[in-house]
Homo-oligomer: A and B are copies of this chain.
Amino acid sequence: MKIQESAENYLESILMLKNSKGMVRSIDIVNVLEFSKPSVSVAMKNLRENGYIEMDADGYITLLPPGQAIAEKMYERHTTISKWLESIGVDPKTAVQDACRMEHVISEETFDAMKRHIKTCGGK
């Protein structure tokens, strides 16, 4: 199973929720992503069946190593890109929205180049 854009997004959301409130259930993902409960339920089932997450009897979700790796990668891209967009004058809300799309479509090489560029060129 090649990891899909939507799966990357769910994993990233799980990590962000874990960071912000410790424990994560499907309903929390429903609330942040604003997808329907069934959509999230099915997505979690897929992530579970493919070894990206684990769920205990109460529905609490843990990222397994492969899921954690993807989540962290997306999270780094997200924060880097959205902060950079803000620094060059994009409205914070738009910056987050656009970072959310860009983070899934760029190559490793492009992201590395962007990081180097931001370091030398900053938001100036």
Show the binding face of A for B, using Cβ within 8 Å. Answer: 85, 88-91, 94-95, 97-98, 101-102, 105-107, 109-110, 113-114, 116-117, 120-121, 124
Nearest first, the 10 closest Cβ-Cβ pairs linking A and B are: A101-B105, A88-B117, A98-B110, A88-B113, A90-B113, A89-B113, A121-B121, A98-B106, A94-B109, A90-B110
Is the beta-carbon distance between A116 and B101 smaller than 8 angstroms? no
Query: Can you name 5 A-B pairs with beta carbons within 8 Å?
Result: A85-B110, A88-B113, A88-B116, A88-B117, A89-B116
Of A107, A113, A124, the most chain B CB neighbours within 10 A belong to A113
**Residue of B at shortest CB range from A114?**
B88
Complex CA distance for A89 and B109, rounded to whole angstroms: 9
Query: Can you name the residue of chain B whose Cβ is closest to the Cβ of A103?
Result: B105
Q: Are B102 and A106 in contact (CB under 8 A)?
A: yes
How many Å from the CB of A80 to the closest CB on chain B?
14
Q: How far is the CA of A90 from the CA of B116 in the complex (A)?
A: 11
Q: A102-B102, A113-B85, A121-B121 are in contact. Are A97 and B107 (CB under 8 A)?
A: yes
B110 touches A94 (CB 8 A): yes
- Chain B minimum-CB-distance residue to A123: B117
- Taking CB as reference atom, which chain B residue is nearest A99? B110
